[in-house]
Amino acid sequence: MGSLRNKRVLLGVTGGIAAYKSAELIRCLQGDGAQVRVVMTPAATEFITPLTLQALSGNPVSLELLDTAAEAAMGHIELARWADLILIAPASANFIARLCHGEGNDLLSTVCLASHSAIAVAPAMNKHMWENSATQKNLQQLREQAVHIFGPAAGYQACGDIGEGRMEDPAALSTMASALFSTGLLSGKKVVITAGPTREALDPVRYISNHSSGKMGYALARAATEAGANTVLISGPVQLEPPERIKIIAVESAADMLSATLEEVEGADIFIAAAAVADYRPASVAEQKIKKNDDDMYIQLVKNPDIVATVAALAERPLTVGFAAETENLEHYATQKLHKKNLDLVIANDVSDATIGFNSEDNRVLLVQPGTSKALPTMNKSLLATKLIEHIAALLSSSKLKTSQS
Ligand code: PMT
């Protein structure tokens, strides 16, 4: 299985004879581990039926921009947020021109306009259309807009011509899509990440905890590994599949998480504290189940050690990144945490909004560093993790540069 594992690929199919290859492309993307959803332009449905692509992808195919049923569930904004990658294959000369000019006159072009994910096009057209200077100018502009151009291949064309303009083979396209996520930005680096909640025991059957699902921390661990890092994930109790190629240390309490962290951060380049660590724990843990004897019950709590601040205070410390889960004054409290805990970066999220933060698919964050902050828009946690890892890798290189110059 390739590096599209857990990636969400939105396959855009436009009108062209190569649309029949989209069926095989879905299989190749799935074989490389991706979840696939399909958006077809009206012209694409003349070449292959939505039913075929629905059966193969296992998801309903989206067709209309103004579809009342779709707007309730997977409308253009939801589709745009869902995707880690939008792959348009085949991409007709007409669609390339529309994408280049930022048109939003059908569902696929609107999703592209609304998305923050990577976009790749696999051109498929007659060789003269491919060679046309207008097409080439459009492609150049798309490259400048960071759109990836996959292919085309050369060979026999449906119209009888021989030359460049055939859509790349599905297997090759899937490999090119995988390569977009294997950036090598953290090649040879050790990254330690905490994720999920902690559980602070009251007695043998009860504990204090919170709603962290671990999704944000697990997505970061995957993104770091895709970027080439040797990743260690220290995880509180969660219901998530253990990611591949990652050392996982399962812990329960803040104390367990601290000792695992201190062991693993030795020699690490980056530490990211995404876990929702309980700030307090019961002062004592009853040996037997606490009995329901009184009408009122009081639990004395004591402060837990602050894991991320402990790492940031080490003499030999990795680049240290914390989160801030706030319900108000996001930037103000995040800046306080940055300074108080001596962090290199705080990733602040507003956990009062149920659509982002705890146990949601999406998140929206503010990146707070000494003297500067940058807001990222709402996106799925996997895509956000990729962008956060890119940011953190750049921070690591610039901090290394500063150290070597001083
Ligand atoms: O797991 P999900 O459902 O995907 O949700 C993601 C998330 C909301 C949990 C995540 O994005 C997040 O915000 N994680 C940090 C939650 C938190 O505990 O925030 P805080 O503001 O209370 O703590 C600030 C920082 O100190 C965090 O990096 C935290 O890991 C760290 N901390 C806190 C207390 C403590 N005793 N030790 C710590 O290391």
What digits encode the pLDDT tens for the residues 17-57?
999 999 999 999 999 999 999 999 999 999 999 999 999 99
- Asked whether 138 lines ligand 1 (CB < 6 A), one says no
Looking at residue 359, what DSSP letter applies? T
User: 153: pLDDT confidence band, cut at 50, 70 and 90?
Assistant: confident
Per the model's pLDDT, the better-predicted residue between 209 and 127 turns out to be 209
Instruction: Report the relative pairing of strands 270-273 and 319-326 from DSSP bridges.
Output: parallel
**Mean pLDDT along residues 175-200:** 95
Confidence band for 73, pLDDT divided at 50, 70 and 90 = low
Percent of the chain with pLDDT over 70: 96
Separation between Cα atoms, residue 243 and residue 246, nearest integer Å: 6
- pLDDT at residue 180 above 50? yes
Residue type, 288: Q
Q: Is the CB of 210 under 6 A from ligand 1?
A: no
Q: Give the pLDDT band (50/70/90) at residue 404.
A: low
Reply yes or no on whether the pLDDT at 355 is more than 60. yes
Lowest-pLDDT range of 121-135, 158-172, 305-319, 354-368: 158-172
What are phi and psi for residue 335, nearest 5 degrees? -65, -40
Does the pLDDT value for residue 335 go beyond 70?
A: yes
**Structural domains of the chain in order of their starting residue, each with its CATH number:** 8-179 (3.40.50.1950), 190-405 (3.40.50.10300)
Which pLDDT score, from 0 to 100, does residue 302 have? 98
pLDDT tier, 324 (very low <50, low <70, confident <90, very high otherwise): very high
Q: Is 323 in the pocket of ligand 1 (CB under 6 A)?
A: yes
Q: Would you state the pLDDT for residue 64?
A: 84
Which residue's C-alpha comes closest to atom 14 of ligand 1? 274
Model confidence band, residue 1 (pLDDT cutoffs 50, 70, 90): very low
Q: Is the pLDDT score of 252 beyond 50?
A: yes
Would the CB of 359 count as within 6 Å of ligand 1?
A: yes
Please determine, for residue 2, whether its predicted confidence score (pLDDT) is greater than 60. no
Distance (angstroms) between ligand 1 centre and the Cα of 211 equals 11
pLDDT above 80: residue 401 = no
Which residues are registered as beta bridge partners of 16? Answer: none
Asked if 260 and 234 touch (Cβ cutoff 8 Å), the reply is yes
pLDDT, tens digit, 9 for 90 and up, residues 268-303: 999 999 999 999 999 999 999 999 888 899 999 999
| pLDDT for residue 338 is more than 70 | yes
> What would the pLDDT profile of 202-211 be if each residue is shown by its tens digit?
999 999 999 9
Catalytic residue among 28, 100, 112, 159: 159
Within 10 angstroms of residue 237's Cβ, the number of other Cβ atoms is 15
Dump strand ranges (E) for 240-371. Answer: 247-250, 270-273, 280-282, 301-303, 319-326, 345-350, 362-363, 365-369
Provide the pLDDT for residue 160: 79
Q: What does the pLDDT read at residue 69? A: 67
| Active-site annotation holds for 159 | yes
Burial class (CB in 10 A: 0-12, 13-18, 19+), 14: buried
Residue nearest to atom 36 of ligand 1 (CA): 306
Going from the Cα of 37 to the center of ligand 1, the distance in angstroms, rounded, reads: 32
Return contacts of 22-25, CB within 8 angstroms, 24+ apart: 22/48, 22/53, 22/89, 22/90, 23/48, 23/52, 23/53, 23/56, 24/170, 25/89, 25/170, 25/173, 25/174
